[in-house]
Amino acid sequence: MDLFVDVARQFLCVGKRTKVLSRTVCLDLAAQLLATDLGLKPAVLFDINGASPEQVCHYLSALQENGFLSSALYTVALCGNVFIANLKQTVVHLQGLLLRGNLLVIDVCPSLVQPALFDMKCGGTEDMVKALLNYFTTESVTEQRNSIMEISEDLLQKWNLCTVFGVLLGYPATYWFDEDKGFDNCLSFVPLSVTKVSLTWQTDYGQHRFNLFSFSIPEILLVQAGALFESWAQNLQQQVKTQTVFTELNIFKTNVTLPAVTL
């Protein structure tokens, strides 16, 4: 376990006055990557500090070279954000979305009185998923081992990044709004049901509890979203049962109402 901490501190520090990453932060990131490597989620967003894609790539490569992670994981750069993706699982996930349409796309355009669900074909979401699938299955991409996969600006200009994040992270629901009309939304003072999924990882330092997923769905849409959410949760439960690294799966919900929601 010390290696997870040492490698993170070696490669992911930023700034002239380098702040040492805490053991908890290092283990949280390691647990997320192990879960992604096991296929429990397609990808993880690197957001613990401002480390560059190159730093994240070196960090990932070091863990892979030491045998702690498999070669299935890749560093993906997307509009200034960095993901670490399980390429095979991401492809399977995207194919499943196109085959079954099992994604809740929530329209939160500010012109709406309240959020509304719409079909994946609306708002260009289905086309975006197809383009992502095409990108991740091209031969030139699969050959980029130990390098950074960078999604081109040409593709990004056509997509809503908020929607992309939800798709890549494996959420059952993702938000959409018309970026041509601005970046505001209609979630102000709208009651939200926030779902958090946590697991326990037995480390040399004891049991480490971490969040695997965290996402929200407007309460007004819970009835419509119920069947798809339950299917997503059951599938996750089955996936967790196929591995032995993590235990104590917990899916719990809380309700929040905020004066403003930034997506």
- Cα distance between residue 182 and residue 216, in whole Å: 21
Q: Are the CB atoms for 160 and 179 separated by under 8 Å? A: yes
pLDDT confidence band for 144 (50 / 70 / 90): low
pLDDT at 165: 95
pLDDT at 163: 93
Q: Are strands 43-46 and 148-150 parallel, antiparallel or unpaired?
A: unpaired
pLDDT at 18: 66
Residue 16 has pLDDT above 80, yes or no: no
Mean pLDDT of 230-238: 96
188's CB contacts (< 8 A; 6+ apart) are: 258, 259, 260, 261
User: What are the phi and psi torsion angles at 250 (to 5°)?
Assistant: -135, 125
Mean pLDDT of 217-227: 95
Which pair of tokens denotes residue 219? 């309460």
3-state secondary structure of 29: helix
pLDDT confidence band for 142 (50 / 70 / 90): low
pLDDT at 185: 93
Which pair of tokens denotes residue 164? 């992309």
pLDDT confidence band for 79 (50 / 70 / 90): confident
Over the stretch 157-192, which tens digit does the pLDDT of each residue have? 778 889 999 999 999 999 999 887 778 999 999 999
- Cα distance between residue 175 and residue 105, in whole Å: 6
pLDDT at 145: 65
* Complete DSSP assignment for 186-241: S-TT--EEEEEEEEEEEETTEEEEEEEEEEEEEGGGHHHHHHHHHHHHHHHHHHHH
Residue 146 has pLDDT above 80, yes or no: no
pLDDT confidence band for 141 (50 / 70 / 90): low
Helical axes 23-37 vs 53-65, angle rounded to 10°: 70
pLDDT at 258: 95
pLDDT at 15: 75
Which residues are paired to 211 by β-bridges? 198
pLDDT confidence band for 76 (50 / 70 / 90): very high
Residue with tokens 């960090």: 59
Residue 68 has pLDDT above 90, yes or no: yes
Q: Are the CB atoms for 100 and 107 separated by under 8 Å? A: no
Give the percent of the chain with pLDDT over 70.
95
Q: Are strands 104-107 and 148-150 parallel, antiparallel or unpaired?
A: unpaired
Mean pLDDT of 252-263: 94
- Cα distance between residue 222 and residue 233, in whole Å: 14
Over the stretch 34-53, which tens digit does the pLDDT of each residue have? 999 999 999 999 998 889 99
Residue 261 to residues 12, 51, 116, 175, 217: CA-CA distances in angstroms? 29, 25, 16, 12, 12
Of 148, 108, 154, 147, the residue nearest 131 (C-alpha): 154
Over the stretch 93-124, which tens digit does the pLDDT of each residue have? 999 999 998 899 999 999 999 999 988 887 78
Mean pLDDT of 118-145: 82
Q: In degrees, to the nearest 5, what angle opens at C-alpha 86 toward C-alphas 19 and 32?
A: 40
pLDDT at 238: 97
Residue 43 half-sphere exposure toward CB, CA atoms < 13 A: 27
Residue 60 has pLDDT above 80, yes or no: yes
